[in-house]
Amino acid sequence: MTNITLTVNGKSVSRDIPDETLLSEFLREHLRLTGTHVGCDTSQCGACVVHVDGKAAKSCTTLAVALDGAQVTTIEGLANGDLHPMQEAFTEHHGLQCGFCTPGMIMASVDIVNRYKAEGRTLTEKAIRHELEGNICRCTGYHNIVKAVESAAAKM
Amino acid sequence: MYPTKYHKAASVDDAIAALAGGEDGKFLAGGMTLIATMKQHLAAPDVLVDIRAIDGMKGVTADGDTLVIGAATTHAEVAASDTVLGLCPALACLAAGIGDPMVRQAGTIGGSIANNDPAADYPAALLALGATIVTNAREIAADEFFEGLFTTALEENEIITAVRIPKPAAAGYAKFRQPASLFALVGVFVAQTADGARVAITGAGEDGVFRHDGLEAALSANWSADAVDGVEVSSDGLMTDIHADPAYRANLIKVMAKRAVAG
Ligand SMILES: Cc1cc2nc3c(=O)[nH]c(=O)nc-3n(C[C@H](O)[C@H](O)[C@H](O)COP(=O)(O)OP(=O)(O)OC[C@H]3O[C@@H](n4cnc5c(N)ncnc54)[C@H](O)[C@@H]3O)c2cc1C
Ligand code: FES
Ligand code: FES
């Protein structure tokens, strides 16, 4: 057991956890933040993506104990009163059907837009498809997800 | 996952002492391979020694015309480094094509080469570029480092601290991606070095990454995609799996070699 203190969605949390606890388990089972989904558990699908210190990370492949002092943002912490522009865009463009992949899609997409803006690169449709390679959706066929990311990028 | 004990190492000495404190400990970097392996119960280290916070393990510098990359530097950091783009743009391009953005923001060059997956990208680059792998104990030439499938010259308690890569006159990498895993079905790295052309192939060899004499001779004589046409690439010793048989991989080696030279 190790005691860790980190900031999750702006709030400081402190817990004693077994060292092998995955960040996905920590969020879902210790903090009951079940918006972060676990799809494959083999690092392939991206359903579990959250932000660690502002960067997208697969929470199913991250040890919580390594994150003492870190800032973690989950889908629950993205909206700031109003929905985040990425959440709005997914609603408007029907970027989801069953919704299982959506928290990871949205967290990965916000990271994509943030990186392209910071580096001053243009986010083309082709680039969005390449950047979303780590996020699998079994329902939508991706077209509306790509449209949603393009639309949100223009507003962020 | 089986229980384990985590230790964030403050220095190389601390990391080695912490590893010695366990029976079957392992170093942890990005965890993109190791944690997945632990979840599958293929590895059950009793001690995990995180080497990412050790001073000097992260970042890219230039030592004259030699690129020096800290072992804990992530794929995303290599892809975005102006120093890498200046001295060896093909390496930045390779790093930008590893896995997906989350894999690139966590996975490290040291973890990738220590793991030596037969379909990983970096081993091909380091072998073709004639890189040197620097550890806490010694310097190892890439030609001696990659020994076989998931096997390297590293001792159990040896830490990679950096890799040193001499600037090539020209270099290129082309990878045919296995679309589900994102790893190379075949990847070919070509480099014009002080010792002539060097060509290393990943994703194809039964014993992991390897150099190809025929392609090296042809490209040393004439650095052009056309020079690849006349080279015989045998399917002996190439991998077979549900994605591709040896003959298909042999053909892909030539196709990827041409694309890598053409840039
Ligand atoms: C979905 C997915 C797609 C991927 N696609 C690709 C791809 O296209 N191409 C590719 O090349 N790779 C790919 N990878 C693998 C990825 O590049 C890994 O990051 C890399 O293989 C391991 O690096 P790591 O830093 O995560 O190491 P870890 O998983 O932390 O460690 C791996 C091994 O290296 C050892 N180790 C780590 N650092 C050191 C060190 N400094 N000294 C000594 N030993 C050390 C560890 O003990 C462990 O045995 C993919 C991975 C995933 C999950
Ligand atoms: S649950 Fe983490 S990548 Fe699928
Ligand atoms: S909306 Fe169902 S998996 Fe993407």
Strands (E), chain B: 5-8, 26-28, 47-50, 60-63, 66-70, 132-135, 139-141, 146-148, 151-152, 160-166, 170-177, 184-193, 196-202, 210-211
For residue B93, give both structure tokens. 């391009």
Which of B100, B32, B121 has its CA nearest to residue A129? B100
Cα separation, B249 vs B37, whole angstroms: 27
Class of domain B5-50: alpha beta
| Cβ neighbours of B31 in A, within 8 Å | 61-63, 66
| Cβ neighbours of A49 in B, within 8 Å | 102
Q: What percent of chain A has pLDDT over 90?
A: 97
Q: Residues A91, A113: one domain?
A: yes
Which of A124, A137, A129, A116 has its CA nearest to residue A49? A137
**CATH number where A102 lies:** 1.10.150.120
Cα separation, A130 vs A116, whole angstroms: 13
pLDDT for B181: 87
Q: How many residues does chain A have?
A: 156
Question: Which residues 6+ apart lie within 8 Å of B111 measured at CB?
Answer: B29, B30, B32, B33, B34, B71
Q: Which atom of ligand 3 is nearest to the CA of A105?
A: 4
Ligand nearest to the CA of B95: 1
Q: Residues A89, A72: one domain?
A: no
Strand partners, A56: A51
**Type of residue numbered A134:** G
- What is the domain extent for residue A135? 85-155
CA of A46 to the centre of ligand 2 (A): 5
Q: Where are the domains of chain B?
A: 5-50, 60-166, 170-262
For residue A4, name the pLDDT band (cuts at 50, 70, 90).
very high
Find where tokens 């390449």 sit.
A130
Cα separation, B246 vs B263, whole angstroms: 25
Q: Residues A18, A58: one domain?
A: yes
Cα separation, A51 vs B109, whole angstroms: 22
Residue A93 reports pLDDT greater than 90: yes
> In this complex, is the C-beta atom of A62 within 8 Å of any C-beta atom belonging to chain B?
yes
Find where tokens 């502002």 sit.
A54
Residue A21 reports pLDDT greater than 90: yes
pLDDT for B27: 98
How many C-beta atoms surround the C-beta of residue B43 within 10 A? 17
Q: Residues A103, A44: one domain?
A: no
> In this complex, is the C-beta atom of A91 within 8 Å of any C-beta atom belonging to chain B?
no
Please identify, among A43, A59, A76, the residue that sits at the C-terminal boundary of a domain. A76
How many C-beta atoms surround the C-beta of residue A121 within 10 A? 10
| Cβ neighbours of B48 in A, within 8 Å | 19, 63
Residue A118 reports pLDDT greater than 90: yes
Please identify, among A33, A59, A76, the residue that sits at the C-terminal boundary of a domain. A76
Cα Rg of chain B, angstroms: 18
Tens-of-pLDDT digits for all 263 residues of chain B?
A: 899 999 999 999 999 999 999 999 999 999 999 999 999 999 999 999 999 999 999 999 999 999 999 999 999 999 999 999 999 999 999 999 999 999 999 999 999 999 999 999 999 999 999 999 999 999 999 999 999 999 999 999 999 999 999 999 999 999 999 988 889 999 999 999 999 999 999 999 999 999 999 999 999 999 999 999 999 999 999 999 999 999 999 999 999 999 999 98
Tell how far CA B250 is from the center of its chain: 21
Which of A156, A95, A116, A107 has its CA nearest to residue A134? A107
Residue of chain A nearest B180, judged by CA positions: A44
Which of B10, B20, B5, B8 has its CA nearest to residue B157? B20
ipTM above 0.95, yes or no: yes
CB under 6 Å to ligand 2: residues? A 38-41, 43-48, 58, 60
For residue A47, give both structure tokens. 């359903």
Cα separation, B206 vs B204, whole angstroms: 7
Find where tokens 């050790």 sit.
B54
Q: Which atom of ligand 2 is nearest to the CA of A48?
A: 2
Cα separation, A105 vs A75, whole angstroms: 10
pLDDT for B180: 86
pLDDT for B91: 98
pLDDT for B212: 98
**What is the dotted CATH code of the domain comprising B60-166?**
3.30.465.10
φ and ψ of B147, to 5 deg: -95, -25
Q: How far is A97 from chain B (nearest CA, A)?
A: 22
> In this complex, is the C-beta atom of B255 within 8 Å of any C-beta atom belonging to chain A?
no
Cα separation, A120 vs B66, whole angstroms: 29
Residues A50 and A27 sit within 8 Å (Cβ to Cβ): yes
Please identify, among A27, A48, A76, the residue that sits at the C-terminal boundary of a domain. A76
pLDDT for A41: 78
Residues B110 and B50 sit within 8 Å (Cβ to Cβ): no
Q: How does B74-92 read in b/e, with b if 16+ C-beta sit within 10 Å?
A: bbbbbbbbebbeebbebbb
Residues B175 and B256 sit within 8 Å (Cβ to Cβ): yes
Q: Residues A140, A117: one domain?
A: yes
Q: Residues A114, A72: one domain?
A: no
CA of A39 to the centre of ligand 3 (A): 11
pLDDT for A78: 96
**CATH number where A39 lies:** 3.10.20.30
pLDDT for B1: 85
**What is the dotted CATH code of the domain comprising B170-262?**
3.30.390.50
Helix (H, G, I), strand (E, B) or coil at B187: strand
CA of B188 to the centre of ligand 1 (A): 19
Cα separation, B35 vs B44, whole angstroms: 10
For ligand 3, atom 2, which residue shows the shortest CA distance? A98
φ and ψ of B167, to 5 deg: -60, 125
Question: Which residues 6+ apart lie within 8 Å of B10 measured at CB?
Answer: B53, B54
The reported pTM is: 0.97
Q: Residues A89, A69: one domain?
A: no
> In this complex, is the C-beta atom of B221 within 8 Å of any C-beta atom belonging to chain A?
no
